[in-house]
Amino acid sequence: MKLTRRNCLVVAGGFAAALSVAPVWAGSRVIKVSLWDKGASAMSMPGHDGMMGMGMGHRGGATPMAPVGIRLSSEKVPAGKLTFEVSNTSTQMPHEMVISSIKDSQTPLPYDKDGNKVDEDAAGHLGEVAELEPGKKGSLTLTLKPGRYILYCNIPGHYARGMWTLLTVTP
C-alpha cells in the first residue's frame, strides 16, 4: 500500500474508532458462576435435615458433602465493574444467585427460619439473577468496592444446605 495522506487518515480513523470502543469492553471483568446440585433426590434423601446449618458461619459451611453449591471462575477480583455470567447447570432444580456484602465469614446471614431462607433485605441484598430454570443462564453487572461478598441461592433450603460461596474484591 502506498503511503499517502488519505491512507494515513483512513488508518488513523480506524485506530481512533477502535480506541473509542475499548472502554465499553475493557471496563468490566467477567466472573463465570455455576449453580450446581447433586439432583433433587440428594435434597430429599432420608436425613437431609442433617444437611441444614451449612450456611455461612455455621458448622462446616459450604463443604464437599453439600448437595448444592456455587462455583466461581475466580474467587478474588479487583474492584470495579463486574459482570456475573450465571449458569444453572442443574438438570432438575431451579437456582438463583443473590449477592450481599459481608464484614466477616464467621457471622451468619440473617435467616428467616419460617421461610427457610435468608432475609435478603436485612442481609444487604445488592442484586440477583432471579430463579433460573435448569440449564438456563442470566447475568448481573455491578460495580463493587473492595471488600468481602457472599453469593448465595435463596430458594428455600438451598443456602442452609451449603449453596453459597465467598468473593474477595481487592483494591
In the numeric block, the cell 432475609 is attached to 119
Task: Read off the pLDDT band of 4 (50, 70, 90).
Answer: low
CB 146 within 8 Å of CB 170: yes
Per residue in 98-135, pLDDT (tens digit) is: 999 999 988 889 999 999 999 999 999 999 999 999 99
Residue 32 cell numbers, joined:
463465570
Please state which CATH class domain 27-170 belongs to.
Answer: mainly beta
**What pLDDT shows up at residue 106?**
87
**What pLDDT shows up at residue 29?**
96
Query: What are the extents of the domains in the chain?
Result: 27-170
What is the pTM for the complete model shown? Answer: 0.78
Per residue in 21-62, pLDDT (tens digit) is: 434 445 689 999 999 999 877 776 444 444 456 666 544 344
**What pLDDT shows up at residue 164?**
93
Percentage of the chain surpassing pLDDT 70? Answer: 71
In the numeric block, the cell 453469593 is attached to 151
Per residue in 92-101, pLDDT (tens digit) is: 999 999 999 9
More confident residue, 86 or 20: 86
**Exposure class string for 105-127: b at 16+ Cβ within 10 A, else e:** eeeebebeeeebbbebeebeeee
